[in-house]
Structure 1
Amino acid sequence: MSKGPQVFITGASGHIGFATLALLLKKGYQVRVSSRKLATAQKLKDLPSIKPYAEQVSFIEIPDALADNAYDEAIKDVEYIVHIASPLPDDSHTGTDFDVEKYYVEPAIQGNIGLLKAAQKSPTVKRVVITASVAVLEGKEGQEIIGPDDLAPVPAVKDIPQHPWAAYGASKRLANAAADDFVKNNKLHYDVVHILPSYVQGRNEPVTSSRELADRPSSNQTMIKFIQGYKETEPRPADFVLVDDVAAVHVAALEAKHIVSGERFIAAYPPPVPWVEVEKAVKKLFPKEVENGILPLGGECPDRIMHLDSSKTTERLGVQFHGIEDMVKSLVGQYVELVEKERKEGKN
Structure 2
Amino acid sequence: MNKTILVTGGTGYIGSWVVKMLLEKGYTVRMTVRNKNKKEKYAYLSDIADKSDGKLEIWEADLLTEGSFNKAAKGADAIIHMASPFTLRFKDAQKDLIDPAVNGTRNVLEAANQSGTVKKVVLTSSVAAVHGDNVDMKEQGLDEFTEEHFNTSSSLEHQPYSYSKVKAEKEAWKIHDAQNDWQLVVINPSFVLGPALAKSSDSESLSFMKDMLTGKYHMGAPELMFGFVDVRDVAQAHLLALENDNASGRHILSERTAGVFDAAQIIKSKFGSKYKLPVMKSPKMMLYLVGWMFGLTTKFIKRNVGHPIKLNTTKSKQELGLKYTPLDKTIEDMVLQMQQDNILA
TM-score, with length taken from structure 2? 0.83
Query: Out of 96, 104, 109, which is 1:103 matched to?
Result: 96
For 1:236 and 1:167, the matched residues in 2 are separated by 18
Instruction: Report the CA distance shift for 1:105/1:41 in structure 2 as closer, same or farther (over 3 A).
Output: farther
- Per-residue CA deviations over 1:70-123 (Å, capped at 9, x if unaligned) read 1110111110100001011232x2xxxx32211111111111111111111112
For 2:85 and 2:123, the matched residues in 1 are separated by 14
SS class of match (1:73): helix
Q: What are structure 2's unaligned runs of at least 5 residues?
A: 132-136, 283-304
Aligned match of 1:227: 213
- Per-residue CA deviations over 1:136-181 (Å, capped at 9, x if unaligned) read 11346221211112112286xxx521x6xx1110011111111122
How big is the shift at 1:55? 5.8
Contact 2:94/2:156, CA 8 A, preserved across alignment:
no
Q: What are structure 1's unaligned runs of at least 5 residues?
A: 343-347
For 1:317 and 1:218, the matched residues in 2 are separated by 26
How big is the shift at 1:303? 6.4
Contact 2:127/2:188, CA 8 A, preserved across alignment:
yes
Aligned match of 1:345: none
- Per-residue CA deviations over 1:233-279 (Å, capped at 9, x if unaligned) read 7665521000000001111001112234xx10111113x12222222
1:177-216 matches, cutoff 5 A: 177-184=170-177, 186-208=178-200, 216=202
Which stretch shifts more, 136-145 or 241-250?
136-145
Counterpart residue identity of residue 115, structure 2: S
For 1:55 and 1:245, the matched residues in 2 are separated by 21
Aligned match of 2:226: 238
TM-score, with length taken from structure 1? 0.82
Matched, 1:160 2:156: yes
Aligned match of 1:70: 68
Identity of aligned residues (%): 26
Aligned match of 2:204: 218
Instruction: Report the CA distance shift for 1:316/1:41 in structure 2 as closer, same or farther (over 3 A).
Output: farther
How large is the RMSD of aligned CA atoms in angstroms? 2.5
Matched, 1:112 2:105: yes
For 1:250 and 1:305, the matched residues in 2 are separated by 28
How big is the shift at 1:217? 3.9
Instruction: Report the CA distance shift for 1:87/1:309 in structure 2 as closer, same or farther (over 3 A).
Output: same
Counterpart residue identity of residue 252, structure 1: L
Contact 1:120/1:189, CA 8 A, preserved across alignment:
yes
SS class of match (2:118): coil
Instruction: Report the CA distance shift for 1:335/1:305 in structure 2 as closer, same or farther (over 3 A).
Output: farther
Counterpart residue identity of residue 161, structure 2: Y
SS class of match (2:332): helix
1:1-348 matches, cutoff 5 A: 3-40=1-38, 43-46=41-44, 49-53=48-52, 56-62=55-61, 64-91=62-89, 93=90, 98-138=91-131, 139=137, 141-153=140-152, 160-161=156-157, 166-184=159-177, 186-208=178-200, 216-231=202-217, 236-260=224-248, 263-270=249-256, 272-287=257-272, 290=273, 293=274, 295-298=275-278, 305-339=308-342
SS class of match (2:109): helix
Contact 1:229/1:298, CA 8 A, preserved across alignment:
yes
For 2:193 and 2:58, the matched residues in 1 are separated by 27
Contact 1:120/1:188, CA 8 A, preserved across alignment:
no
For 1:106 and 1:44, the matched residues in 2 are separated by 25
SS class of match (2:71): coil
- Per-residue CA deviations over 1:7-46 (Å, capped at 9, x if unaligned) read 0101111101111111111122110100011133565243
SS class of match (1:124): coil
Instruction: Report the CA distance shift for 1:12/1:120 in structure 2 as closer, same or farther (over 3 A).
Output: same
Contact 1:108/1:171, CA 8 A, preserved across alignment:
yes
Instruction: Report the CA distance shift for 1:120/1:14 in structure 2 as closer, same or farther (over 3 A).
Output: same
Counterpart residue identity of residue 227, structure 1: L
Instruction: Report the CA distance shift for 1:245/1:303 in structure 2 as closer, same or farther (over 3 A).
Output: farther
Instruction: Report the CA distance shift for 1:72/1:304 in structure 2 as closer, same or farther (over 3 A).
Output: farther
- Per-residue CA deviations over 1:38-81 (Å, capped at 9, x if unaligned) read 1335652435644413861110112x321221111011111010
Instruction: Report the CA distance shift for 1:284/1:169 in structure 2 as closer, same or farther (over 3 A).
Output: same
For 2:8 and 2:310, the matched residues in 1 are separated by 29
How big is the shift at 1:220? 2.6
- Per-residue CA deviations over 1:264-322 (Å, capped at 9, x if unaligned) read 0111113x1222222222222223xx3xx4x2323667666431111101000100112
Counterpart residue identity of residue 182, structure 2: Y
For 2:229 and 2:156, the matched residues in 1 are separated by 27
Contact 2:129/2:169, CA 8 A, preserved across alignment:
yes
Contact 1:238/1:304, CA 8 A, preserved across alignment:
no
For 1:142 and 1:318, the matched residues in 2 are separated by 30
